[in-house]
């Protein structure tokens, strides 16, 4: 059994293993049931690139039997931290609580000057991505090129692939321009009888890339009798910093959000993108300091919008949408937050909508936060695999509840010219409430 009071590793007392509660290693009985759901093992077939193998490697480091460098570090870097293994594991292994602190400690211990002063990490990940206004400003030339048709031509001709490295991967992920709509207000009233009062988390990339989805989410909440507070002062959830090895930066973002939300005033803090929600729900796990209790209090109030509406009881929309769709389980919704059925129950209330099961829905699409920027080869393999499964359903519409998944699948659809629309479930619910139809690309013959 795992100790409730997490303690550092008792075996070596130093190295990356010292950042992990050693009892968590002992939860794994090495049965291997996790391997079939692990994206990297599924693609590579290497036991070292499976959850079981990685746990063995990390424990060997903790025991002082292995050095946390070289080949071992590469096996851990290839992990998407999708946590599909947690869903599959019959022993309830907390894999995320192993890999995340271990990699953070490994990054700190093995940090080279080249990595410390990596321009992409320091400028793009830490100074651009966590700030929606900066993202919009940086995207101005790309949006202009899109509106002039230059971007689309370059994409069709494969010219975007000539942009080197992580910057090139980032450019290919930019979705077609849409009107973002006005700035979100500080308050929106419920429609009809008030059933709840919630605060809404805005985020950074989600607001810069998917503000229309934010507006759709707010309208759906209003239709379901929710007063909505959108407090000033909130920022990035901290996941970008945390998964890039900057624990201190992530903690600052977390504390900023703790200060922004008045928890006594709301029933829940609603989040509509899975990566943000998963990070915020684990605020109380990552840092053990004087502010931990406040972070735990915020974490306890965080609810994914699908989870919240399902529990509240969705007021069924009346607008008919006669489309065949499929739903992709975002890893940090299905695996990290264990929210699988609620989105499907909400979608089932849209008149006319047919939702077909997506084969291998539990396997990551390859986005995994910034994984598709840092590990483009594996991300592309997983993206192609996901698109093949989408294609097999015959769906004209793909739904996913996370910004990263939406961007990754949108790119696959565009590059393969698949006649499929990609959107968030809240976008579709909003259309149904308003009696409107989704914009679908022209179908190919037989689709």
Taking residues 423-436, what's their average pLDDT? 98
Write out pLDDT tens, residues 133-183.
999 999 888 888 888 888 888 888 888 878 888 888 888 888 887 777 889
Helix (H) or strand (E) holding 170: helix 165-173
Residues 244 and 171: their CA atoms lie apart, in Å, by 19
Q: Which of 34, 38, 125 is nearest to 369 (CA)?
A: 125
In DSSP notation, 269-329 reads EEE-SHHHHHHHHTHHHH--STTHHHHHHHHHHEEEHHHHHHHH-----------EEEE--
Q: CB under 8 Å to 55, separation ≥6 — which residues?
A: 25, 28, 30, 93, 95, 98
Q: What is the pLDDT of the chain when averaged over all its residues?
A: 90
pLDDT band at 62 (very low <50, low <70, confident <90, very high): confident
Residues 372 and 404: their CA atoms lie apart, in Å, by 9
CB contact at 8 A, 369 and 404: yes
Residues 137 and 143: their CA atoms lie apart, in Å, by 10
Please list the residues that pair with 302 across neighbouring strands. 269
CB contact at 8 A, 270 and 201: yes
Write out pLDDT tens, residues 327-380.
999 999 999 999 999 999 999 999 999 999 999 999 999 999 889 988 989 999
Taking residues 403-423, what's their average pLDDT? 95
Structure tokens at 88: 């599959």
Write out pLDDT tens, residues 239-281.
999 988 889 999 999 999 999 999 999 999 999 999 999 999 9
**pLDDT at residue 1 greater than cutoff 50:** no
Write out pLDDT tens, residues 97-147.
888 888 888 877 766 555 667 888 889 999 999 999 999 999 888 888 888
**pLDDT at residue 7 greater than cutoff 50:** no
Structure tokens at 334: 């299905």
Domains (range + CATH), the chain: 16-110 (1.10.1060.10), 121-173 (no CATH), 187-310 (3.40.50), 316-434 (3.40.50.11810)
Which pTM was predicted? 0.90
pLDDT band at 3 (very low <50, low <70, confident <90, very high): very low
Structure tokens at 67: 């050095």
Q: Which residue has the tokens 């929210």?
A: 339
């Amino acid at each position: 059994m795992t100790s409730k009071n997490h303690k550092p590793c008792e075996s070596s007392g130093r190295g990356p293993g010292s950042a992990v509660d050693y009892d968590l290693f002992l939860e794994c009985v090495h049965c291997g049931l996790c391997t079939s759901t692990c994206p990297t093992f599924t693609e590579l077939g290497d036991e070292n690139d499976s959850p079981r193998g990685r746990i063995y490697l990390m424990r060997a480091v903790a025991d002082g039997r292995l050095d946390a460098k070289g080949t071992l570090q590469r096996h851990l870097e290839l992990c998407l931290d999708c946590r599909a293994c947690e869903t599959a594991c019959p022993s309830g292994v907390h894999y995320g609580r192993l890999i995340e602190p271990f990699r953070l400690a490994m990054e700190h211990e093995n940090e080279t000057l080249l990595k410390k002063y990596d321009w992409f990490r320091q400028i793009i990940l830490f100074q651009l991505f966590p700030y929606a206004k900066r993202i919009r400003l940086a995207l101005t030339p790309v949006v202009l090129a899109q509106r002039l048709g230059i971007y689309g031509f370059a994409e069709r001709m494969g010219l975007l692939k000539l942009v080197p490295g992580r910057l090139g991967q980032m450019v290919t992920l930019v979705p077609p321009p849409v009107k973002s709509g006005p700035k979100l207000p500080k308050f929106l009233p419920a429609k009809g009888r008030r059933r709840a009062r919630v605060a809404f988390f805005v985020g950074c990339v989600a607001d810069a890339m998917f503000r229309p989805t934010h507006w759709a989410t707010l309208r759906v909440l209003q239709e379901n009798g929710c007063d909505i507070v959108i407090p000033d002062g909130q920022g990035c959830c901290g996941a970008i910093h945390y998964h890039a090895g900057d624990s201190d930066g992530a903690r600052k973002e977390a504390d900023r959000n703790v200060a922004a939300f008045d928890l006594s005033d709301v029933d829940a803090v609603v989040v509509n993108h899975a990566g943000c929600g998963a990070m915020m729900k684990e605020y109380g796990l990552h840092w053990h300091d004087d502010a931990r209790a406040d972070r735990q209090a915020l974490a306890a109030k965080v609810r994914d919008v699908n989870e919240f509406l399902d529990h509240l009881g969705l007021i069924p929309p009346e607008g008919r949408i006669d489309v065949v769709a499929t739903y992709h389980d975002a890893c940090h919704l299905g695996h990290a937050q264990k929210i699988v059925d609620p989105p499907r129950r909400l979608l089932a209330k849209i008149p006319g909508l047919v939702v077909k099961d997506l084969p291998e829905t539990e396997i990551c699409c390859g986005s995994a936060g910034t994984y598709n920027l840092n590990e483009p080869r594996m991300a592309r393999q997983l993206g192609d695999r996901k698109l093949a499964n989408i294609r097999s359903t015959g769906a004209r519409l793909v739904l996913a509840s996370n910004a990263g998944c939406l961007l990754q699948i949108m790119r696959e659809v565009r590059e393969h010219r698949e006649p499929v629309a990609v959107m968030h479930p809240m976008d579709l619910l909003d259309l149904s409430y308003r009696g409107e139809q989704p914009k679908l690309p022209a179908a190919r013959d037989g689709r």
